[in-house]
Every structure is written in structure tokens, then in C-alpha cells.
Amino acid sequence: MMDTKFGLRGDIVPAGALGDLAESFADGPFQISVNSGIIEIGYEDESQCEAARELIRQYIDASSFARNQPLSANLNQSWRKRLEGDKVFAVCISCTVHVTADVEARTTEVTQTGTASVVKIFDSRSLASQRDITSKARKNPELSSALRYLNEEVVGDDRPLYGIYKALEALTSGLGNDGRVRLGALAGEDKKFVSDVMETAQTTRHHADPNARALLSEGECRERARRLIDAYAQSLS
């Protein structure tokens, strides 16, 4: 267990989703670790508790987007270190951070140097590997919202396409005038590529547009939404 003054701790659900993954890394003032299904985040200032919770949410959202499999982090334990050096733990009833996770367990990157090949194994279970998109989401509220809405779409399927509509709405609103045109262009597509998803999603929302038509299947909507969110994220520095 990490040796910080304060921290949050809990299970990654479902059990075994990340296998025996063990990693530790720092992000700013926070220390994060994952070990066999347990996630922890430590910090030195008690006022950073909510920021720590939000950071885990963003890492989980990013991992969810990359992996496309339901996950959640149940941060139901907290600790504080006493002057004596030991730790006092507290348990809350439910502090769940939702995410989704992906079909791919690992990929490889190959770099050619003369006649030699260097192969780097990349473990897609790793939260640390989502540092780039998490950093972008932290600086860009629209991307953060889009990732979260997409995860809610996957986790809560009682409102089909609701999360997809809200995710794209966040991005297009953030892009300002002609947001659908600009979002489509980021993915090398036109306004219709975006509008068809949003119109289809309108047919399934609680406050559905009576003039909306289902122009795409749910699968096509999800695929396009993921492509658009990825294009938007890639456009950020």
C-alpha cells in the first residue's frame, strides 16, 4: 500500500477484468496504483480528495473508451496517516466510478533499425497508457464530458443512444458555430456524418424529436461516435 498521507482505495468491477495487472505511476501530485483488481490513489493534501476522485474517473473513462467493456472503480475506502505513522481507514457505502473497457488485450509496436527489429509489448489493460487522453480530458471539459457520456451509454443501456447523443452534443457545442461541420471535418467527413448519428439518437431519447428518423443502426451510431470522439481527441494538443 502506498505511503501517502491521504488516499482512496477500492475494487475494480467486475472482478478479474484487468487480470493480474500491477502498475504504479504518478500524475502531478497524485500517486496511482493498480494491483490485481485493487485501485488506489494517494495524495498529501486532504483538500485534494475530490480532485483525486475526478482523476480516477477520467482515467477510467479513458480506459473505457480504449477498451469498450463495462468497468467501474468502487472507491469505497479512504485513509489518512496518523502522526504515529499508522493509517486510519474509513469505508463508505457506495462511491462508484463507472467506465468501460476493450476487446484487445495487447498490441505491438515495431521499430525498424537497419536489419534489426525492436518489438515493444503494450498492455491495453494499463491505466498509465491512457495518460495522454486523460491529460487532454482534464484540460478540455467537452472531451471529458463526451468520454463520460459514452461510458454511461455502455453501462446504462436503459436509454439507447442517449449517451451517444449527449457525447456528440458536448463536442459540437464546444466547437462553436457550425460545430457539426467542424467535428465531421476532424474525422475527414462532412456534417451529415455527424447529423445522421444525432438524428437517429433523437428517436430513442426520452424527449424524442417527433420529426427525427432512424437513419443508422445502433451499432453504426456507436462506431461513428467513437471515431468522432477519437478524431476530436487527436486534434487537441
Domain ranges of the chain: 6-100, 140-235
Mean pLDDT (the chain, rounded): 81
Q: Is the pLDDT of residue 92 over 80?
A: no
pLDDT for 159 equals 63
Q: What is the pTM of this model?
A: 0.79
With a CB cutoff of 8 Å and minimum separation 6, the contacts of 168 are: 146, 183, 194, 197, 198, 201, 225, 228
Cα three-residue angle 189-66-205, rounded to 5 degrees:
65
- Which has more pLDDT, 213 or 171? 171
- Which has more pLDDT, 66 or 153? 66
Q: Is the pLDDT of residue 69 over 90?
A: no
Mutual orientation of helices 218-235 and 131-139 as an angle, nearest 10°?
80
Percent over 70 (pLDDT), the chain: 75
pLDDT for 113 equals 41
- Count of CB atoms within 10 A of residue 112's CB? 8
CA 236 to chain centre: 16
Grid coordinates representing 20? 493480474
Q: Tell me the three state secondary structure of residue 19.
A: coil
Grid coordinates representing 71? 468497468
Grid coordinates representing 237? 494538443
Chain position carrying cell 509489448: 121
Distance CA 140, CA 234 (A): 12
pLDDT digits (tens, 9 = 90+) for 134-185: 999 999 999 999 999 988 765 455 566 888 999 999 999 999 999 999 999 9
Q: Which of 37-41, 101-105, 156-160 has the highest mean pLDDT?
A: 37-41
Q: Rounded to 5 degrees, what are φ and ψ at 141?
A: -60, -30
